[in-house]
């Protein structure tokens, strides 16, 4: 089943390019450390999901590019075309000239209605190319005006028009220290709207990706391109093909659907985080070997201690001791900063994948009591290695990962709102103080819900 | 007083490597002919459309009232006609740049009349104003009157103002002079890189001092629009400047600083130079107006980078400089940033910083004082009052407007020493 990607704004389009590039490059890796037949099945599955075929054989990304100013989409289209390996559809792009001015209200209330028809038509065309549609990726940043505001609008439309298909928003969480001054306003407006219309929010944090580039990839002068490539790698490690029940050479048809089913049992809890191990520069990779036991031990601790990468993990954090009576929220059994999960999904790729022992993730102490541990934890596998890594493991988690960042953004936005700063820029385009209050109320509810897991 | 919209080529054709038919999206207005004529006979004569001019002969006599009331009503129709014509040529008109001085009669009076006209005629289009404020040793006696009367208009009808003063520009030139003439080893300057010269020849500067100073302002505008004109990994459009740097409608005065002022020809300088560039942007030597932002309160700050600068360089320097700067409590992370890949000619990178900072308050207070000294004695007042539509109340309203603005800055400054407290959050019944 296919996934159609909508790339919005500068961030969305720059990332979208890296994602398709990473998916393509990985699926065309020479051997992938598996049999030829296996590799071909993998390639075919990836292709069907993310690319469509054109006459001359160059795969076309199943994507719609949207931006309110032309520079980035022009660049993105030509970069893809120049690669000669894959490209975007000639008519898959919608752009305007004036931009959104980092103004969520402008993106949502002005651009949205104005260009609704054109954008939805483009998406419809892309959907029609699919034999079977699984759902949508919507790639957008929260900090700016187009990705955030127009992204929220488009997601709402997708909910109305394609109610049977799934929507996963790939949200870029901005750096804590400003890229955009009004980023906190734009973020809370985005999150509150998406919470009502999206099925899941897969969050990618710039600060975390930046650290990975600095500490693990050893990049000296980190560019947005570097950051986007790490993100693309993480996303690829989740959504590239994995075995269905039948196993070898048979790949899962609907990873998006399966993921939603596994990870989003309740509409109040939609925020997903992603972790991936190992991540390192190509130079370091040549000198490293991994065992599944080692990788999974680290990944589990990354989950429990809410660490964003495999370096600097706090090994002191432990799950609450099971078997002891729970004492409610003030329970002292709960370790410091322990990250409580609702549900987790681990994806394993590479050599000897069937020998990996995932017992550590099935511990009921890691989870809330709502789901049986057998349902709260799922694993996907394939022998086919991902990118350059002989073994790699990814984790998608519905847990308290994003509680602190969310709380921080709401707090900052609230402080600014209390002083009424910048509000006139939003009311100018129809977003009133009441809309802000609604957003705050919804998000405080989400914060409270995750806090009380 | 030239006023320009986005100076972007108008579908010019390229012949023999030179873009011949590019026309500036500009309307040049002056109530005297001398300056405009010089432009039209100079090296840039082909760039300006000779039909997009409005001139008169007698000038405004350094009288805001003449510029605003007399010439305003006289030329209103013509101005509108030429503006509409320019606007028609645009696929998508986003903003107007108004470039003028505050101390004289035409730029100040007719310039601010124009501002109101633009607001009425093109309400959706942003109005960016580059205003040259009179220095202390200004030779126009009535400049305080003109400036205060103009300030009221800027307060009410401009989206964003970049105040400039001649003294600062002059100081920058002096600094460059010092470098050029110091003869120190390794201090040979690349001619093209001077922020004061577009022609490249260092010596030419001395003939026309205002040209060099004006070039600095030209570079300011170039850097301001670079991210909109060229590609980069983090674009910033002009409407984003207003959105991020203007937290309250009246507080739209931005202190600008440019770096580097020149590039040393010696390329063996290590990348420490990049960090030095950030430090320089926060040094008073690089500001286009005399003010002290470091000891005042930041409401917001924009960093617009060009050239080979990546996000990690940006973040490292923000972290480094943050502790020495005071930001208002509700905007502790008040940074807006952009990265444009294309550097200015002659440089590998450059930085334009725009600060919305309470440090403009002393400038305005000084202006008000100079005004009051004149006004108390009623000096030269009759020149203004004899113009139809001008009354003493016009002056009073203008002062009142400025006082209001100063008071807003005062209130913000008062919060400087207060501890930063978080507002109590909404409590949710679980």
Q: What are the tens digits of pLDDT across the range B314-364?
A: 999 999 999 999 999 999 999 999 999 999 988 888 999 999 999 999 999
The number of residues making up chain A comes to 453
Residues A69, B237: C-beta atoms closer than 8 Å? yes
CATH (domain of A202): 3.40.50.1440
**Whether residue A415 sits in one domain with residue A347:** no
**Whether residue A266 sits in one domain with residue A213:** yes
Partners of residue B98 on adjacent β-strands: B3, B129
Residues B333, A225: C-beta atoms closer than 8 Å? no
CB B312 within 8 A of CB B234: no
Partners of residue B351 on adjacent β-strands: B259, B305
Residue A71 touches partner B, C-beta closer than 8 Å: yes
Residue A407 touches partner B, C-beta closer than 8 Å: no
**Chain B residues 229-248 within an 8 A CB cutoff of chain A:** 231, 233-235, 237, 239-240, 242-248
The per-residue pLDDT for A178 is 76
How many Å apart are CA A146 and CA A2, to the nearest integer? Answer: 25
Q: Which two tokens stand for residue B225?
A: 């629009």
CA separation (Å) from B400 to B314, B371, B381, B397, B406?
41, 12, 18, 5, 10
Q: Which portions of chain B are predicted below pLDDT 50?
A: 1-17, 199-206, 266-269
**Whether residue A61 sits in one domain with residue A206:** yes
**Whether residue A308 sits in one domain with residue A205:** no
How many Å apart are CA B346 and CA B341, to the nearest integer? Answer: 14
pLDDT in tens, A217-238: 999 999 999 999 999 999 999 9
pLDDT band, very low/low/confident/very high, at A132 (cuts 50, 70, 90): very high
How many Å apart are CA A43 and CA A30, to the nearest integer? Answer: 11
Residue A218 touches partner B, C-beta closer than 8 Å: no
**Whether residue A343 sits in one domain with residue A309:** yes
**Whether residue A393 sits in one domain with residue A437:** no
The per-residue pLDDT for B10 is 38
| Collapsed DSSP state (helix, strand, coil) of residue B140 | coil
The per-residue pLDDT for B422 is 83
Residues A72, B331: C-beta atoms closer than 8 Å? no
Residues B234, A179: C-beta atoms closer than 8 Å? yes
Domain boundary among A361, A383, A400: A400
Q: Please report whether residue A333 resides in a domain.
A: no
Chains A–B, number of C-beta pairs less than 8 Å apart: 135
The per-residue pLDDT for B135 is 84
Contacts of A181 in chain B (CB under 8 A): 244-245, 300, 331, 333-336
Rg of the Cα atoms in chain B: 22
Q: Please report whether residue A328 resides in a domain.
A: no
Task: Choose the closest CB to B300 out of A181, A220, A224.
Answer: A181
Contacts of B418 in chain A (CB under 8 A): none
Chain B residue with CA closest to A74: the answer is: B231
Q: Tokens 């008071």 identify what position?
A: B407
How many Å apart are CA B362 and CA B228, to the nearest integer? Answer: 33
Task: Choose the closest CB to B239 out of A72, A75, A101.
Answer: A101
Residue A201: phi, psi to the nearest 5? Answer: -115, 110
Residues A410, B234: C-beta atoms closer than 8 Å? no
Residue A146 touches partner B, C-beta closer than 8 Å: no
Task: Choose the closest CB to A224 out of B233, B319, B331.
Answer: B233
Q: Which two tokens stand for residue B290?
A: 């005399």
CB A187 within 8 A of CB A446: no
The per-residue pLDDT for B271 is 52
**Chain B residues 333-362 within an 8 A CB cutoff of chain A:** 333-337, 339
Contacts of B239 in chain A (CB under 8 A): 98-99, 101-103
Question: Which run of H or E residues covers position B302?
Answer: strand B298-307
How many domains does chain A contain in total? 3
How many Å apart are CA A345 and CA A326, to the nearest integer? Answer: 26
Total Cβ atoms within 10 A of residue B200: 13
pLDDT in tens, A374-427: 889 999 999 999 988 999 999 999 999 999 999 999 999 999 999 999 999 999
What is the pLDDT averaged over residues A326-338? Answer: 49
pLDDT band, very low/low/confident/very high, at A326 (cuts 50, 70, 90): very low
Residue A75: phi, psi to the nearest 5? Answer: -60, -45
Q: Please report whether residue A326 resides in a domain.
A: no
b/e for B380-396, b at 16 or more Cβ within 10 A? Answer: ebebbeebeebeeebbe
- Percent pLDDT > 90 in chain A is 80
Residues B336, A180: C-beta atoms closer than 8 Å? yes
Contacts of A409 in chain B (CB under 8 A): none
How many Å apart are CA B206 and CA A31, to the nearest integer? Answer: 69
Q: What is the DSSP string of B397-421?
A: HHHHHHHHHHHHHHHHHHTTTS---
How many Å apart are CA A127 and CA A129, to the nearest integer? Answer: 5
b/e for B143-162, b at 16 or more Cβ within 10 A? Answer: bbbbbbbbbbbbbebbbbbb
Residues B334, A181: C-beta atoms closer than 8 Å? yes
Q: Please report whether residue A253 resides in a domain.
A: yes
Chain A interface, best mutation among B426, B427, B429, B430, by max A CB count within 10 A? B426
Contacts of A425 in chain B (CB under 8 A): 242-243, 246
**Whether residue A422 sits in one domain with residue A286:** no
For residue A58, the Cα-to-chain-centroid distance in whole angstroms is 27
The per-residue pLDDT for A433 is 96
Residue B253: phi, psi to the nearest 5? Answer: -105, 120
Q: Note down the domain range covering A300.
A: 282-320+339-400
Q: What's the helix, strand, coil split of chain B in %, to 5?
A: 45, 15, 35
**Whether residue A236 sits in one domain with residue A147:** yes
Residue B336: phi, psi to the nearest 5? Answer: -120, 130
Partners of residue A110 on adjacent β-strands: none
Return the higher-pLDDT residue of A431 and B173: A431
CA separation (Å) from B142 to B71, B95, B107, B371, B381?
18, 31, 14, 9, 9
Q: Which two tokens stand for residue A405?
A: 């960042």
Contacts of A445 in chain B (CB under 8 A): 428
**Whether residue A300 sits in one domain with residue A237:** no
How many Å apart are CA A137 and CA A235, to the nearest integer? Answer: 11
CB B237 within 8 A of CB B229: no
Chain B residue with CA closest to A423: the answer is: B247
**Which burial class, exposed, middle or buried, applies to A163 when counting CB atoms under 10 A from its CB (0-12, 13-18, 19+)?**
exposed
Residues B318, A222: C-beta atoms closer than 8 Å? no
The per-residue pLDDT for A245 is 82
Q: Tokens 């010596």 identify what position?
A: B203
The per-residue pLDDT for B20 is 64
Residues A224, B310: C-beta atoms closer than 8 Å? yes
Answer positive or negative: Cα dihedral of B54, B56, B62, B64. negative
Min CA distance, A297 vs chain B (Å)?
A: 31
**Whether residue A144 sits in one domain with residue A15:** yes
How many Å apart are CA A94 and CA B160, to the nearest integer? Answer: 31
Residues A223, B243: C-beta atoms closer than 8 Å? no
pLDDT band, very low/low/confident/very high, at A180 (cuts 50, 70, 90): very high
How many Å apart are CA B95 and CA A383, to the nearest integer? Answer: 57
Residues A97, B249: C-beta atoms closer than 8 Å? no
CB A241 within 8 A of CB A251: yes
How many Å apart are CA B67 and CA B113, to the nearest integer? Answer: 8
Q: Which two tokens stand for residue B366?
A: 């000084």
Mean pLDDT, chain A, integer: 92
Residue B322 touches partner A, C-beta closer than 8 Å: yes
Which residues, 6 or more positions from A279, have their beta carbon under 8 angstroms from its beta carbon?
A: A212, A216, A217, A230, A233, A309, A310
**Whether residue A201 sits in one domain with residue A304:** no
Contacts of B322 in chain A (CB under 8 A): 177
Q: Is A33 left (phi over 0), alpha (psi -120 to 50) or beta?
A: left
Residues B426, A441: C-beta atoms closer than 8 Å? yes
- For chain A, give the secondary structure using H, E and C: CEEEEEEEHHHHHHHHHHHHHHHHHHHCCCCCCCCHHHHHHHHHHHHHHHEECCCCCCCEECEEEEECCHHHHHHHHHHHHHHCCCECCCCCEEECCCCCCCCHHHHHHHHHHHHHHHHHHHHHHHHHCCCCEEEEEEEEECCCCHHHHHHHHHHHHHHHHCCCCEEEEEEEECCCCCCCCCHHHHHHHHHHHHHHHCCEEEEEEHHHHHHHHHHHCCCCCCCHHHHHHHHHHHHHHHHCCCECCCCCCCECCCHHHHHHHHHCCCCCCCEEEEEEECCCCHHHHCCCCCCHHHHHHHHHHHHHHCCCCCCCCCCCCCCCCCCCCCCHHHCCCCCCCCCCEEEEEEEEEECCHHHCCCHHHHCHHHECCCCCHHHHEEEEEECCCECCECEEEEEEEEEHHHHHHHHHHHHHHHHHHHCCCCHHHHHCCCCCHHHHHHHHHHHHHHHHHHHCC
Contacts of B237 in chain A (CB under 8 A): 69, 98-99, 101
Task: Give the count of alpha carbons within 13 A of B323, CB side only.
Answer: 3
Total Cβ atoms within 10 A of residue B230: 14
Chain B interface, best mutation among A179, A227, A451, by max B CB count within 10 A? A179
Residue A253 touches partner B, C-beta closer than 8 Å: no
The number of residues making up chain B comes to 430
Total Cβ atoms within 10 A of residue A364: 15
Q: Which two tokens stand for residue A128?
A: 């029609």
CATH (domain of A356): 3.30.1330.20
The per-residue pLDDT for B18 is 57
The per-residue pLDDT for B21 is 76
Pick from A180, A416, A85, A132: which is nearest to B301 by CA?
A180
Residues B311, A177: C-beta atoms closer than 8 Å? no
**Whether residue A306 sits in one domain with residue A158:** no
């Amino acid at each position: 089943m296919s996934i159609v990607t909508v790339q919005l704004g500068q961030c969305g389009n720059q990332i979208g390019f890296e994602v398709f590039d990473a998916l393509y490059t990985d699926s065309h890796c020479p051997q992938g450390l598996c049999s030829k037949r296996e590799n071909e099945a993998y390639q075919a599955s990836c292709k069907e999901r993310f690319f469509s075929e054109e006459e001359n054989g160059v795969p076309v990304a199943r994507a719609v590019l949207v931006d309110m100013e032309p520079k980035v989409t022009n660049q993105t289209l030509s970069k893809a075309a120049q690669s000669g390996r894959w490209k975007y559809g000639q008519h898959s792009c919608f752009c305007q000239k004036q931009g959104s001015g980092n103004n969520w209200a402008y993106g949502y209330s002005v651009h949205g209605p104005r260009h609704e028809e054109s954008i939805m038509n483009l998406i419809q065309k892309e959907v029609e190319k699919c034999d079977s549609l699984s759902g949508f990726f919507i790639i957008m940043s929260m900090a700016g005006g187009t990705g955030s505001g127009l992204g929220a609008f488009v997601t709402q439309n997708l909910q109305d028009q394609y109610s049977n298909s799934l929507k996963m928003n790939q949200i870029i969480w901005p750096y804590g220290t400003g890229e955009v001054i009004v980023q906190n306003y734009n973020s809370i407006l985005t999150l509150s709207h998406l919470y009502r219309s999206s099925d899941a929010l897969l969050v990618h944090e710039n600060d975390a990706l930046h650290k990975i580039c600095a500490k693990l990839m050893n990049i000296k002068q980190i560019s947005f391109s570097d950051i986007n490539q790490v993100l693309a790698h993480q996303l690829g490690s989740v959504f590239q093909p994995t075995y269905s029940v039948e196993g070898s050479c048979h790949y899962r048809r609907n990873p998006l659907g399966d993921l939603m089913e596994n990870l989003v049992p309740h509409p109040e809890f939609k925020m997903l985080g992603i972790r991936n191990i190992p991540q390192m520069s190509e130079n370091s990779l040549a000198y490293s070997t991994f065992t599944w036991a080692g990788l999974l031990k680290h990944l589990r601790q990354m989950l429990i201690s809410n660490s964003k990468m495999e370096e600097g993990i706090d090994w002191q954090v432990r799950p609450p001791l099971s078997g002891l009576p729970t004492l409610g929220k003030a329970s002292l059994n709960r370790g410091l900063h322990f990250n409580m999960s609702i549900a987790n999904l681990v994806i394993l790729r590479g050599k000897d994948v069937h020998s990996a022992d995932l017992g550590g993730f099935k511990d009921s102490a890691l989870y809330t009591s709502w789901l049986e541990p057998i349902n709260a934890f799922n694993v996907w596998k394939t022998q086919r290695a991902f990118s350059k890594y002989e073994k790699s493991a990814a984790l998608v988690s519905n847990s308290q990962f994003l509680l602190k960042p969310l709380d921080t953004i709401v707090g900052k936005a609230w402080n600014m709102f209390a002083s009424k700063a910048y509000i006139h820029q939003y009311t100018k385009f129809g977003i009133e103080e009441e809309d802000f209050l609604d957003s705050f109320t919804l998000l405080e509810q989400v914060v409270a819900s995750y806090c009380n897991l | 007083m030239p006023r320009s919209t986005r100076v972007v080529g108008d579908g010019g054709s390229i012949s023999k490597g030179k873009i011949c038919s590019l026309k500036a999206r500009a309307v040049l207005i002056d109530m005297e002919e001398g300056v405009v004529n010089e432009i039209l006979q100079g090296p840039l004569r082909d760039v300006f459309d000779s039909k997009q001019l409005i001139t008169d002969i007698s000038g405004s006599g350094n009288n805001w009232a003449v510029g605003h009331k007399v010439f305003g009503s006289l030329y209103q129709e013509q101005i509108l006609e030429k503006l509409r014509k320019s606007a028609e040529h645009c696929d998508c008109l986003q903003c107007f740049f108004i470039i003028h001085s505050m101390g004289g009669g035409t730029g100040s009076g007719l310039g601010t009349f124009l501002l109101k006209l633009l607001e009425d005629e093109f309400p959706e289009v942003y109005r960016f104003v580059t205003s040259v404020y009179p220095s202390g040793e200004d030779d126009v006696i009535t400049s305080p009157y003109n400036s205060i009367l103009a300030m009221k208009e800027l307060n009410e009808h401009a989206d964003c103002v970049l105040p400039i003063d001649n003294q600062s520009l002059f100081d920058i030139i002096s600094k460059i002079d010092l470098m050029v003439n110091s003869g120190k080893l390794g201090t040979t300057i690349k001619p093209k890189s001077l922020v004061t010269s577009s022609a490249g020849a260092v010596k030419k500067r001395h003939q026309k001092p205002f040209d060099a100073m004006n070039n600095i302002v030209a570079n300011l505008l170039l850097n301001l629009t670079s991210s909109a004109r060229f590609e980069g990994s983090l674009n910033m459009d002009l409407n984003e400047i207003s959105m991020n740097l203007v937290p309250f409608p009246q507080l739209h005065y931005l202190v600008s600083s440019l770096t580097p002022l020149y590039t040393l020809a010696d390329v063996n300088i290590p990348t420490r130079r990049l960090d030095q560039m950030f430090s320089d942007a926060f040094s008073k030597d690089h500001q286009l107006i005399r003010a002290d932002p470091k000891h005042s309160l930041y409401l917001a700050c924009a960093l617009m980078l060009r050239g080979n600068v990546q996000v990690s360089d940006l973040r490292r320097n923000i972290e480094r400089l943050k502790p020495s700067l005071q930001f208002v409590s509700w905007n502790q992370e008040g940074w807006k940033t952009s990265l444009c890949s294309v550097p200015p000619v002659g440089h590998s990178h450059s930085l334009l910083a725009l600060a919305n900072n309470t440090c403009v308050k002393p400038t305005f207070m000084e202006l008000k004082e100079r005004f009051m000294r004149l006004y108390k004695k009623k000096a030269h007042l009759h020149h203004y009052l004899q113009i139809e539509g001008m009354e003493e109340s016009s002056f009073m309203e203008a002062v009142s407007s400025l006082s209001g603005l100063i008071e807003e800055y005062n209130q913000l400054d008062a919060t400087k020493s207060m501890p930063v407290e978080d507002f109590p959050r909404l409590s949710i019944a679980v």
